Structure 1
Amino acid sequence: MKLLAKLFSVLFILVGVSAGFLWYQYDQFQQTVVNVTPETAHFEIKPGSTIRQVANQLEANKLLPYGLLFVIHARLEGKADQIKAGEYQLETGMKPADLLKKFTSGQVLQYQLGIIEGKRFKDIIADMRKHPNVEQTLSDAEVQNIMPKLGAAIGMQPEGWFFPDRYNFPRKTTDLEFLQRSHNAMQDYLNKAWEGRVPHPKITTPYEALILASIVEKETGLPEERPLIARVFLNRLEKGMLLQTDPTVIYGIGDKYDGNIRKVDLQTDTPYNTYTRTGLPPTPIATPSKAAIDAVMHPVDSKALYFVATTPGGVSQFSETLDEHNRAVQQYIINRKKVTEQKP
């Protein structure tokens, strides 16, 4: 009995010493600074990873010395099952508690891709496909028939349906997810703007407003002119006049456009040639900005039917009559010649 008591006493001491040592190790571990290097600053947790797998990954990458202690820390904090998948930016000076907080926050590393107003759908696709952190899943054929995949009607063309903005997203976001997000944003904004619009008899659907907004977008880079340019086109539609806008002709020319628009181009009929066909073109010709959409929904009051730039890239001269417009065009030609002569 005495021997057994001694054994229990020794065992109790050993357990106490071991527990004390482990607690000391754990306390020291909590003060450990994570070994972040340029190569390990981006840490990815794959979907479905357990806390033990994450800990093993930390140890394998030499970020922490003892992965098991990270597991113990997560369990003691009650957050072992709250780890969220994604790519995280690790920073120098972080400790295990900081790692756990970051991994459970879901604040994954974000990348950016912008859709610029005035860009065509094919330009948006080209930019998206060049982005290294967008996962490419769509074939060329699927891109051309993308709208049903986004919940739109079969036959709906994609031009104009993607909202211009700078989007933040985590790595491995798919091309379809990116396009869906942008399309949803355009739908939401267009529908909201439509509800608060000033009605016009020639713009009877949100899609018609989107088409006209894309033309307004391409006709000027000056935000203050857009409501007046929208009014010009609305006035012309109301009178049954041709819109006669060069950007639609250029869109109809397509990839053959070389930067110059010629008389023959204005005379060659296409669905987008607003010199040969009345009304709006069949689809938008670019991605319109919020300002262009707003201009169509809330144009200024004016009887103007014509406009032309005063100088290349300058403000526009708006006219109510063809005679006034012709004089403005002649003045533009004179001003353009002066600008050309002044160039070295």
Structure 2
Amino acid sequence: MYIKKILLVISLLGIVGLGIFSYYIYNTIFGPNTSFDAETQSVYIKTESTYNDVLKELQPHIKDLKNFDMIAQKKGYHNYIKPGHYVLQKGMNNNEIINTLRSENIPVKVVFNNQERLENLAGRIATQIEADSLSLLQAFKDGAFLAENGFEQETALAMYIPNQYEFYWNTSAEEFRERMLTEYQRFWTENRKAKAKKHNLTPQEVSVVASIVQKETAKVDERKRVAGVYMNRYKNGWKLDADPTVIYALKRNLNNFDTIIKRVLYKDLTINSPYNTYLYKDLPPGPIAMPDISSINAVLDYENHNYFYFVANPEKPGYHMFANTLAQHNVNKQKYVAWINKMGINR
């Protein structure tokens, strides 16, 4: 009888122990194991990351890293690390986290606009995908790639159409560049190319004029009118006489694009640079900035008018006063000069 009691106790203890062990295993696999308070948490796994690198990336966001490690190795995740951007949900268990890291590489939104040079673009993109700015810049300036696709160093910026795009975070510099070429080709539809041809411009030349329009006015509703002024000058064989091109030439000569120039002086108009449209009648060799889509479309569908001159309007900040004749322009210019002197803007 005594032995039977002992066996019963042992059996009961075994059942309890098995239950405890089963609960532990179940909780280890299926119990919540996130430590962040937000609803989601992004995790970025770099290309060629080791399993230990992944653990270091996860550590701030996981309650029990030891339990995660045990389940991950049991499921074989440590042998199949995939780079990318992964989004963890609050309250996920180890099994869900591992399944997410295995197969749910989520694209990121990449946005860029108003970049002055390829260097600026590379820096901007490097903050949004894995590729660093140096590898991006090397890809952007690759001579063989540019020649194969009809670009030069000076015109390369025209290939990057500002917009919002989706990319996998672990996109390489070359993959980014190839995608942008595809987007450029998609943007330049037969309709847009026909409009450019009608104006005796190539798509790249449209981007050059659009970049000047972009720098000339921040007001989208005024861009077609400004574009019309430049196209009137261009079609009549005039020099463009565009202040933004002089500013670009100055920055280029100084090799300092952080220089702030608010006022173009008469002496600046003599700077010897192919970008100086006060000195040279030809269009600049390339864009002086990255024109956005509204500026490109403003050139393609510029406003038909008889304006050849314009100057900033002191009474309507951001906008301009337009004139058909030099005499009228000089009257407008006097108003502007009086205002800029009153504001104390010397440079």
- Settle same-fold status: TM greater than 0.5: yes
Cα shift at 1:134: 3.2
User: Is the alpha carbon distance of 1:244 and 1:44 closer, same or farther for their aligned partners in structure 2, counting shifts above 3 Å?
Assistant: closer
Equivalent-residue separation in structure 2 for 1:28 and 1:144 (angstroms): 50
RMSD over aligned CA atoms reads: 4.4
Given that residues 244 and 275 in structure 1 are in contact (C-alpha distance below 8 angstroms), is that contact kept between their aligned partners in structure 2? yes
Cα shift at 1:28: 4.0
Equivalent-residue separation in structure 2 for 1:156 and 1:241 (angstroms): 26
User: Is the alpha carbon distance of 1:316 and 1:169 closer, same or farther for their aligned partners in structure 2, counting shifts above 3 Å?
Assistant: same
Aligned residue among 149, 152, 156 for 2:149: 152
Equivalent-residue separation in structure 2 for 1:321 and 1:239 (angstroms): 14
User: Is the alpha carbon distance of 1:250 and 1:178 closer, same or farther for their aligned partners in structure 2, counting shifts above 3 Å?
Assistant: same
Equivalent-residue separation in structure 2 for 1:118 and 1:139 (angstroms): 14
Q: Does 1:124 align with 2:127?
A: no
- Cα deviation digits, residues 279-298 of structure 1 (max 9, x gap): 31221111001110010111
Residues 76-95 of structure 1 mapped to structure 2, 5 A cutoff = 84-95=82-93
Match of 1:125, SS state, is helix
Equivalent-residue separation in structure 1 for 2:145 and 2:314 (angstroms): 45
* Partner residue in 1 for 2:313: 310
- Cα deviation digits, residues 312-340 of structure 1 (max 9, x gap): 95310111111111111112123334444
Aligned residue among 242, 245, 248 for 1:248: 245
User: Is the alpha carbon distance of 1:267 and 1:292 closer, same or farther for their aligned partners in structure 2, counting shifts above 3 Å?
Assistant: same
Match of 2:198, SS state, is coil
User: Is the alpha carbon distance of 1:193 and 1:224 closer, same or farther for their aligned partners in structure 2, counting shifts above 3 Å?
Assistant: farther
* Partner residue in 1 for 2:3: none
- Cα deviation digits, residues 24-70 of structure 1 (max 9, x gap): 665444432215479xx76566779999xx99x989x8436276656
- Cα deviation digits, residues 187-233 of structure 1 (max 9, x gap): 43244662473753432x21111111111111111111100111111
Cα shift at 1:109: 7.7
Aligned residue among 298, 302, 314 for 1:299: 302
Equivalent-residue separation in structure 2 for 1:121 and 1:103 (angstroms): 34
Equivalent-residue separation in structure 2 for 1:103 and 1:221 (angstroms): 44
Aligned residue among 295, 314, 327 for 1:323: 327
User: Is the alpha carbon distance of 1:44 and 1:156 closer, same or farther for their aligned partners in structure 2, counting shifts above 3 Å?
Assistant: closer
* Partner residue in 1 for 2:9: none
Q: Does 1:200 align with 2:198?
A: yes
Given that residues 193 and 293 in structure 1 are in contact (C-alpha distance below 8 angstroms), is that contact kept between their aligned partners in structure 2? no
* Partner residue in 2 for 1:230: 227
Equivalent-residue separation in structure 2 for 1:236 and 1:147 (angstroms): 33
- Cα deviation digits, residues 139-183 of structure 1 (max 9, x gap): 97x467335336533645323332324566555544444444445
Equivalent-residue separation in structure 2 for 1:290 and 1:71 (angstroms): 50
Q: Does 1:96 align with 2:94?
A: yes
Aligned residue among 239, 251, 260 for 2:236: 239
Structure 1: any 5+ residue segments left out of the alignment?
1-15
Match of 1:293, SS state, is helix
User: Is the alpha carbon distance of 1:338 and 1:32 closer, same or farther for their aligned partners in structure 2, counting shifts above 3 Å?
Assistant: same
* Partner residue in 2 for 1:188: 186
TM-score, length-normalised on structure 1? 0.71
- The one-letter amino acid of 1:145's match is K
Equivalent-residue separation in structure 2 for 1:263 and 1:280 (angstroms): 21
- The one-letter amino acid of 1:285's match is I
Equivalent-residue separation in structure 2 for 1:139 and 1:167 (angstroms): 17
Equivalent-residue separation in structure 2 for 1:25 and 1:118 (angstroms): 55
- The one-letter amino acid of 2:32's match is V
Match of 1:276, SS state, is coil
Identity score, percent? 26
Given that residues 118 and 140 in structure 2 are in contact (C-alpha distance below 8 angstroms), is that contact kept between their aligned partners in structure 1? no
* Partner residue in 1 for 2:285: 282
Equivalent-residue separation in structure 1 for 2:163 and 2:136 (angstroms): 24
Given that residues 322 and 329 in structure 2 are in contact (C-alpha distance below 8 angstroms), is that contact kept between their aligned partners in structure 1? yes
Aligned residue among 60, 63, 66 for 2:65: 63
- The one-letter amino acid of 1:33's match is P
User: Is the alpha carbon distance of 1:147 and 1:297 closer, same or farther for their aligned partners in structure 2, counting shifts above 3 Å?
Assistant: farther
TM-score, length-normalised on structure 2? 0.71
User: Is the alpha carbon distance of 1:328 and 1:92 closer, same or farther for their aligned partners in structure 2, counting shifts above 3 Å?
Assistant: same
